[in-house]
Amino acid sequence: MRALATWQDKCIDSQLLVASLVGLFKQRGLDCDKLLRGTGIFSADIRKPGHSISPKQLLRLVDNGLSLWPSGDLSFLLGQLWLPSQSGALTAGMLCARDLNELGLFWYQFHWLTQPWLQCWRWQGDKEWHFLLSLDLGTQQHTQFFIELSLSSLVASCKQLMGQGWHGSMSFPYETPQNIAQYYKYFGTDISFDAPLCRVSMAKAFMQQPLLYAQQIASSVESQATRHAVTHAVISRQSHFQSPRYTLFASEYRLGLAAGIRLSLMRDNVSLPEMAEKLSMSPATLKRRLAEMDLSFGQLADETRLIKALYYLATPSQDAHSIANSLSFSDASNFRRSFKRWTGQLPIYFRSWLA
């Protein structure tokens, strides 16, 4: 199994989120020394190509940032800076995507390069694509901040790449926040809270609309004189779209410990000792490394079962008995009790959640 990033591993590119956060503080005239205090991050390091920080350092930085920022919009402002702050192969691939569906597939495969704290699950409904988001690298300690950051970057990027506003619905895995006005401003009104997981849903027709660059190529094809230039652009586009593979495969990490465990549990039900053996560590070491990130193996197992259950519930042919059997519950009653413990609701309540 590929190496999974833990609490102390230097796996997060400091030239992206960290640099954007420091830049915002400088723009507002806020104390950057206080922002970086106790993080082990120095201003000179952020400018170094290839410099990385650990999840532990990132969480300390976010703690400092939230305590010092004078309003409740820090995550949203950082989200607006996400696409402009990117550089290199990932941006080239995103800019050259034909439509939002292709862009989503591209980001889904390579998002570790830019948002390593996320783990994403896709599900195709009748008329919509659904994306379920889990947090990695211990960032669930700031669930609201990282979800606001990630989804505001999604909405802002769609607007920049499509030339129009984002359309879809969002469900958030926490109660209605105090900064609800920011949610309406950045996400629209089709939002809900107290969800079992973070869910983003978009109509298939919306995701198939061409992005601005694809529209420019299509309009250029109409001109005979520009055909050669367009051919060259398409070849360049294909090259850029594939180039992040080299960057990604050269990276030591592609997943954090939590995401790697969830992914393994999605494929097979294994116990903690079996998982520890897969990861070439003792059960005690696995428990300790998860505890550093305020997680337990039981939490990850329950969350993975919940994701599977939501998929099964969206399949009309699956009833409570077959789902219970697929999830290795002794009977349907046991499954219902566990599902209500996870979500506060009985399974039937979420039959159409991923429809």
pLDDT tens track for 296-308:
999 999 999 999 9
Q: Mind listing the pLDDT tens digit for each residue in 295-347?
A: 999 999 999 999 999 999 999 899 999 999 999 999 999 999 999 999 999 99
Closest CA to 73 of 173, 176, 185: 185
> Do residues 4 and 253 make contact, with C-beta atoms less than 8 angstroms apart?
yes
pLDDT band, residue 163 (cuts 50/70/90): confident
Give the tokens for residue 352.
């159409």
Q: Which helix (H) or strand (E) holds 198?
A: strand 198-203
Residues 6+ apart with CB under 8 A from 220: 226, 229, 230, 233
Closest CA to 118 of 104, 128, 129: 104
Name the more confident of 83 and 153.
Answer: 153
Give the tokens for residue 25.
């503080």
Residue 189 has pLDDT above 80, yes or no: yes
Name the more confident of 214 and 303.
Answer: 303
What's the mean pLDDT in 10-17? Answer: 92
Identity (one letter) of the amino acid at 120? C
According to the model, what pLDDT value does residue 97 have?
85
Give the tokens for residue 320.
């409570």
d(CA 337, CA 341): 6
> Do residues 265 and 114 make contact, with C-beta atoms less than 8 angstroms apart?
no
d(CA 230, CA 82): 29
Share of the chain above pLDDT 90, in %: 70
According to the model, what pLDDT value does residue 2 have?
66
CB atoms within 10 A of CB 305: 21
According to the model, what pLDDT value does residue 240 have?
46
> Do residues 121 and 106 make contact, with C-beta atoms less than 8 angstroms apart?
no
Q: Degrees (nearest 5) of the Cα angle 296, 291, 66? A: 110
pLDDT band, residue 112 (cuts 50/70/90): confident
Name the more confident of 18 and 254.
Answer: 18
What's the mean pLDDT in 68-97? Answer: 84
